[in-house]
A and B are shown apart, each in its own frame.
Chain A
Amino acid sequence: EAGVAQSPRYKIIEKRQSVAFWCNPISGHATLYWYQQILGQGPKLLIQFQNNGVVDDSQLPKDRFSAERLKGVDSTLKIQPAKLEDSAVYLCASSYTRGTQYFGPGTRLTVL
């Protein structure tokens, strides 16, 4: 089966600009996650969706980050405006409700 798809793979922007990342989970997976991985650290959860509802966004900086999962399938994560400290890899993962998480390749964001 096809894995988790993410785009773009790389993005370079200036600080204060906006950026959006897209994720297409594995077909049938009800749960979708966005993680942020700063260089040298393990991934950290930003937001978790169960179908199209948010179940955990406690670590999402809501003043600048937003995410949506319309129709319970694809998801978009947006940063507006970006700061230098947002430079990281943004990982999308998905799973069945009771299942193992599978990760996409990630989007590497560089904020200059």
Chain B
Amino acid sequence: DAKTTQPPSMDCAEGRAANLPCNHSTISGNEYVYWYRQIHSQGPQYIIHGLKNNETNEMASLIITEDRKSSTLILPHATLRDTAVYYCIVRVGWDLVQGAQKLVFGQGTRLTINP
């Protein structure tokens, strides 16, 4: 799986948009970009994923550059409950033999939302 690079920590004011960057310059054509977050003492929570087009759901937006070498997760109106470690992961979606593929987590970005 391709390696990702994320800043170790970020701060954002409550109510503002939080923009979390991720570099994945060695991503392959069949690899998706996934974002998970982990709030203290909880299991990782799925946020969003995409292949090449920008994606939006009720939690966040994912912007992937045209060359797919980087992406940005956007939380449009951050709240205190968004304080968590955010993981950017790239992986092949699934395999005929093994099924869904494992997630390889890095260190992630510790996002702190300040009141």
Residues of A whose CB lies within 8 Å of any CB of B are 4, 30-31, 33, 41-45, 48, 50, 55-56, 91, 93, 95-106
Contact = CB atoms under 8 A, between A and B. Distances in A.
B115 interface: no
Q: Interface residue tally of chain B, by bracket?
A: 20 to 34
B107 A106 contact: no
Interface of B is mostly: loop
A37 to B, nearest CB: 8
B102 A33 contact: yes
B99 A98 contact: yes
B68 interface: no
A48 B102 contact: yes
Interface stretch (B11-19, B20-28, B44-52): B44-52
Nearest to B85: A42
B99 A42 contact: no
Contacts of B104: 45
A50 to B, nearest CB: 5
A3 B104 CA distance: 22
Contacts of A98: 93-94, 99-100
Contact of B97 (A4, A33, A42, A55): A55
B98 A56 contact: yes
Interface string B60-83: 000000000000000000000000
A56 B43 CA distance: 21
6 contacts: A44-B105, A45-B103, A45-B104, A97-B94, A97-B100, A101-B100
Contact of A103 (B34, B44, B100, B107): B44
Nearest to A46: B102
Contact of B99 (A43, A50, A103): A50
B7 interface: no
A96 B100 contact: yes
A105 B38 CA distance: 10
